[in-house]
Amino acid sequence: MENQISLYNTLTRRKELFEPMSPPHVGLYVCGPTVYGDAHLGHARPAITFDLVFRYLNHVGYKVRYVRNITDVGHLENDADVGEDKVAKKARLEQLEPMEIVQYFTNRYHHDMEMLNVLPPSIEPHASGHIIEQIDLVKKILDSGYAYEENGSVYFDVVKYNREHNYGKLSGRSIEETLENTRDLAGQEEKHNQVDFAIWKKASPEHIMRWPSPWSSGFPGWHLECTAMGCKYLGDTFDIHGGGMDLIFPHHESEIAQAVAANGRDHVRYWMHNNMITINGQKMGKSLNNFITLGEFFSGKQASLEQAYSPITIRFFILQAQYRSTLDFSNEALKAAEKGLKRLLAAAETLRSLAPSANSTLDVAGLRQKCYDAMNDDFNSPILMAHLFDGVRMINSVKDGKETISATDLDLLRKTFTVFIFDILGLKDEGKSSAGNDELVEGLMQTILDIRKEAKLKKDWPTADKIREHLTSLNIEVKDTKEGAVWGMKE
RNA sequence: GGUUUCGUGGCCGAGUGGUUAGGCAGCGGUCUGCAAAACCGUGUACAGCGGUUCGAAUCCGCUCGAAACCUCCA
């Protein structure tokens, strides 16, 4: 590989050179959504972060198998193990089949992701479709002695595991402290220790999502699915596992424990975690009830939104921050993103019609290298964007005749812009497809603008202004530029 | 309370020992019948107090403030 990528590994808490186990193949697993509600801005962050990782690894020549699961079982709603399954709860409230809910929100999730130009993963396994694998995993853990059965449920013996391995290697916490600080929760009599967690849970009579198992009719534990599906599709040990920072403990910590207990070897080599999106300085999340769904952003129909924001604006906004930093939502920040995106795309468009000169006064190769350097340094998209904006200045300067560019450099700059803006950052010009592609409309508009042009040549300003005003009232915006009048639909 | 992380100019957000991050807004200018847009130029900021150093936003200590995790959570 020509590009040496370094990435921040949560396991070691530092940046490390990325070396896949069996290049050029790379295994990438990312925790996907729990489909019991619409995706909100917070869900867009890991999707876009790891879409960037997926796109870049592919770009530099790796063959990536990207697995992102759909969680449609488990994940208990209330404290400890006495709660009911989130999906099941919603189902009963609305008198729908659980799988109907799952399908409905999965479809909507896919739609939102497509809008954000997030590429589909290579495999998108459902937890409910891997009950057999999960039961197998429970058996393995029982066989290796790191779990015990109690009244139809199976619990992971964290204390025993911690004696031989390090439960806490990822999150950096010690089990002793955790033991001291864990609250007393009801319904935990079955557990030998408070830190133990269920890997198979017997279903209560009213619990409708349930599967037969050697221990009881029940359902798999919260952390089991990712271990089971990750190992199934990527191997017992694989390259990269990603997800939100809020999953580090206990979810990912427990995933490691389950995998090591079952397979006796290391689970994941590089753990990557994206930071949270905040609103008023606080995490945007389901439980805090302060989230804004992606659909609401796209439509602008939500109390705290001053306007609609297009999917690609949202994408640009998220990529403007490095994935390990928190990112604070505000209308002001989003509007800034919208304008910046527009300027970047306008320059990309200008680039297509730029004329070359005999030689260059610009360092295009240097710019290109800086772009790669930024991405190689832990996928630093904001730095990449800063360099691209330097490119924007170059393009406009050439257009103004202040700088010149050779044919070779022009070609290189075009390639650089295309690769980084569209292929890697995954941005796109949304305006292009939505308006102005209809032949009839295009013809009519051309006729009208021609008439206006003639009026302007005769300095018949009232007529010219009248045409513009009438079009404005139809939501069509006309702007007189040096190259003539251009029109577009107002947002 | 414990663990971890953070505090950068009006806003968002990089950087992390010595040289301009970048975007948006603002200001100045160019273009322009008007309007809008576009383009160019422009800002010495780094929570506070000490310390280390020739030199700190960057390292160390303390203080203040904020967040995440410890319970489902992207």
pLDDT tens by residue, A112-121: 999 999 999 9
Q: Is residue A80 over pLDDT 70?
A: no
Nucleotide nearest to A44 (CA to C1'): B74
Residue range A330-359: average pLDDT? 91
Q: How confident is the model at residue A110 (pLDDT cuts 50, 70, 90)?
A: very high
Can you tell me the distance from the alpha carbon of A472 to that of A474, in angstroms, rounded to the nearest whole number?
5
Residue of A486 and A452 predicted with greater confidence = A452
pLDDT of residue A123 exceeding 60: yes
How large a percentage of chain A has pLDDT more than 70?
A: 91
**Cα A52 to the chain's mean position, in Å?**
8
Under the banding of pLDDT at 50, 70 and 90, the label for residue A481 is confident
Average pLDDT, chain A: 88
Decide: CB of A242 under 7 A of nucleic strand B: no
List pLDDT tens digits, range A453-478. Answer: 888 888 888 999 899 989 888 888 88
Spatial distance between the Cα atoms of A223 and A74, rounded to a whole number of angstroms = 9
Query: To which H or E segment does residue A134 belong?
Result: helix A131-143
pLDDT at A89 over 60: yes
Q: Which nucleotide is nearest to A86 (CA to C1')?
A: B72
A485 CA to B31 C1' distance (Å): 14
Inform me whether the pLDDT recorded for A82 exceeds 60.
no
CA of residue A53 to C1' of nucleotide B67, angstroms:
26
Q: What's the Å distance between residue A90 CA and nucleotide B17 C1'?
A: 56
**pLDDT for residue A268 is more than 70:** yes
Which residue type occupies A379? F
Instruction: Write down which residues 16-75 in A have CB closer than 7 A to strand B.
Output: 31, 33-34, 42-43, 45-46, 71, 75
Q: What CATH number is given for A278-431 in this structure?
A: 1.10.730
Please report, rounded to whole angstroms, the spatial distance between the CA atom of protein residue A400 and the C1' atom of nucleotide B46.
36
**Bond into A24 cis (ω within 30):** yes
Which residues 164-193 on A are within 7 A of strand B at the CB atom? 171-173, 177-178, 181-183
Q: How far is A473 from A112, CA to CA, in rounded Å?
A: 32
Decide if pLDDT at A486 tops 90: no
Name the architecture of domain A6-274.
3-Layer(aba) Sandwich (3.40)
> Which residues, at least 6 apart from A482, have a Cβ–Cβ distance to it below 8 Å?
none
Which of chain B's bases lie under 7 Å from a protein CB?
1-5, 10-15, 21-25, 31-41, 66-74
Please state, in angstroms and rounded to a whole number, the distance separating the CA atoms of residues A335 and A123. 35
Q: Which residue has the tokens 């409309």?
A: A441
A398 CB less than 7 Å from any atom of strand B: no
How many Å from the CA of A255 to C1' of B57?
A: 39
Write down the domain spans for chain A: 6-274, 278-431, 435-489
**Per-residue pLDDT reduced to its tens digit, A272-285:** 999 999 988 888 98
Q: Indicate if A278-431 has the same CATH topology as A6-274.
A: no
